Amino acid sequence: MFQRKFTQGCAACLAFASLCLGPLTAVAGDTLDAVKKRGFVQCGVNTGLPGFSNADDQGEWTGLDVDFCRAVAAAVLGDAQKVQFTPLTAKERLTALQSGEIDVLSRNTTWTLTRDTSLGINFTGVSYYDGQGFMVTKALGIKSAKELDGAAVCILAGTTTELNLADYFRTNGMEYEPVVFDTADQTARGFEAGRCDVLTSDQSQLYGVRLKLKEADKAEILPEVISKEPLGPAVRQGDDDWFNIVRWTLFAMVNAEEFGVTAANVDEMKKSTTNPEVRRLLGLEGIKGKGLGLKDDWAYQIVKQVGNYGEVFARTVGSGSPLGIPRGLNALWRDGGLQYAPPIR
C-alpha cells in the first residue's frame, strides 16, 4: 500500500515539476503592454525621505521621486493617479527592479558605471544633481569636514555613500568609525542619541533628515560636498521602448519648464500657442506620440496633471517646500544649472 501511494505521489510531483519549469522569458518591449494591461505603473520609491518620497499624514505619497512616477503614469495611461508605490530600502531597491517587481525605480539612486553595466539596469537620466555632505551637532564647534579625524560616522547601509566616505577619509589620511544602519530613520535616531559625531548622506537627504530631528537647530550641515551623486530613475535593461518612455518623461518635464508651459497655462497654450516647439511638446504637430507608442497628448498630460520640472521641484524640495533647497545645479542650463533636455522633434 505504501509503495502505491508513493508511486502516485512521485508521479504528481514530477507533473508539478514539469509545470514549474516552463520557460521564464522577458521579451523586449513588453513592459508597456504589461502596464497598460495592468492599468497602473508599479514604481519603487524611498520608504521615507522628505522632499523625495514621503507618505504624509493622509497616507498620500509626496515628493520629487514620487511625482516623477506620477508623470510616467500620466504619459502612459493618461492618469497620474494610476501608480502603485512600492517603498523600498536602499538594500532592496536594485533587486526589486531586476526581478520585475517594479517597472520604474525612482528612489534617489545614484547613477554609476557598475550599476549601469553589471546589474542589468539602465539609468534614464538625472532628475536631481546631488552630492554627499556631512551633518554635525553645532556643539562640536566644527567648521570643516577636514577636522573629522577619528569621528564616529552614521551611514545608511547599501549606498554609494559608504564608499565615498571611505575614499574621503583615506585620501585625507583620517580615521573614522562607520556605524551602519538599515533605514534613514534608524540612522537619524543613532545620530540623535549621540552614537556618532557625524551623519553623512547626500546633501538633499541631510536637509530632510535634519527636519525630522527633534532639535533641528542643534544640527548643522558642513559646507564640503565630497562626491557627485547624480540621482535618477532607472529601468530594467532589454526593454528599449520602456526605457525611452521613462527617459522622455523627464525630458518633457524639463522642456516644459524651458518653454514656460505650466500646469496652470497648459490648456490655454494648447489652444492658442503658435510656438512650434510648444506645439510639438503638446502633440499638436511633429512626431507626437508615435515614436514612443503613446497617445499624442502624452506630454500634455504630464504637464497638466503633474507640472513641469520647475514646478515639481519648487513644490517638493525647493522654495515652496519646508526643505527650501535652492535650485543650484538643478537649475535649467540657461540659468547656470545642469538641467538640459534634448529637443522634442
Partner 1 sequence: MKPQPAADKTSSRQLPTWLGWLSRSGQRPSHWLNWRDPQVRALVFQALFVVGVGALLADIVANTLANMESRGISTGFGFLSSEAGFGILQTLIPYSETSSFGRTFVVGLLNTLLVSVLGIALATLLGFVIGIARLSTNWLLARLASVYIEVFRNIPLLLQIFFWYFAVLQALPSPRDSLSLGEAVFLNLRGLYLPRPLPEAGFDWVMAALALGILASIALRVWSRRRQARTGQLFPLLPAALGLIVGLPTLVFVLAGAPLGWELPVLRGFNFRGGITMIPELAALLLALSIYTAAFIAEIVRAGIQSVDGGQTEAAEALGLRHGQILRLIVIPQALRVIIPPLTSQYLNLLKNSSLATAIGYPDLVNVFAGTTLNQTGQAVEVIAMTMAVYLTISLLISLFMNWYNARSALNAR
338 binds partner 1 (CB under 8 A): no
CB–CB of 232/208 below 8 Å?
Answer: no
Residue showing cell 564640503? 224
24 binds partner 1 (CB under 8 A): yes
Residue whose CB is less far from partner 1, 152 or 284: 152
Residue whose CB is less far from partner 1, 10 or 338: 10
The CB-of-112 to partner 1 minimum distance in angstroms stands at: 10
Among 41, 80, 90, 105, binds partner 1 (CB under 8 A): 90
CA torsion angle 111 113 114 115 (round to 10): 30
- CA 46 and chain centroid, separation: 8
Q: Max CA-CA distance within the chain?
A: 86
Among 82, 195, 212, 327, binds partner 1 (CB under 8 A): 195
Rule CB under 8 A: which of 203-242 touch partner 1? Answer: 236-238
Exposure of 51 in the CB half-sphere (CA atoms within 13 A): 26
176 binds partner 1 (CB under 8 A): yes
Grid cell locating 130:
546631488
The CB-of-148 to partner 1 minimum distance in angstroms stands at: 8
Among the residue ranges 37-45, 49-57, 116-124, 293-301, the one whose residues contact partner 1 (CB under 8 A): 116-124
Among the residue ranges 31-39, 188-196, 249-257, 298-306, the one whose residues contact partner 1 (CB under 8 A): 188-196
Q: How far apart are CA 322 and CA 238, in angstroms?
A: 39
286 binds partner 1 (CB under 8 A): no
190 binds partner 1 (CB under 8 A): yes
Grid cell locating 255:
522642456
The CB-of-205 to partner 1 minimum distance in angstroms stands at: 17
12 binds partner 1 (CB under 8 A): no
143 binds partner 1 (CB under 8 A): no
Per-residue HEC secondary structure of 162-231 comes to HHHHHHHHHHCCCCEEEEEECCHHHHHHHHHHCCCCEEEEEHHHHHHHHHHCCCHHHEEECCCCCCCEEE
181 binds partner 1 (CB under 8 A): yes
Quick one: which H or E segment has residue 264?
none
Q: How far apart are CA 75 and CA 299, in angstroms?
A: 6
Q: How far apart are CA 86 and CA 106, in angstroms?
A: 10
314 binds partner 1 (CB under 8 A): no
Residues making contact with partner 1 (CB under 8 A): 3, 6-7, 10, 13-14, 17, 20-21, 23-26, 90-91, 94-95, 98, 114-115, 118-120, 140, 148-152, 157-159, 162-163, 165-167, 169-170, 175-182, 186, 189-190, 193-195, 197, 236-238
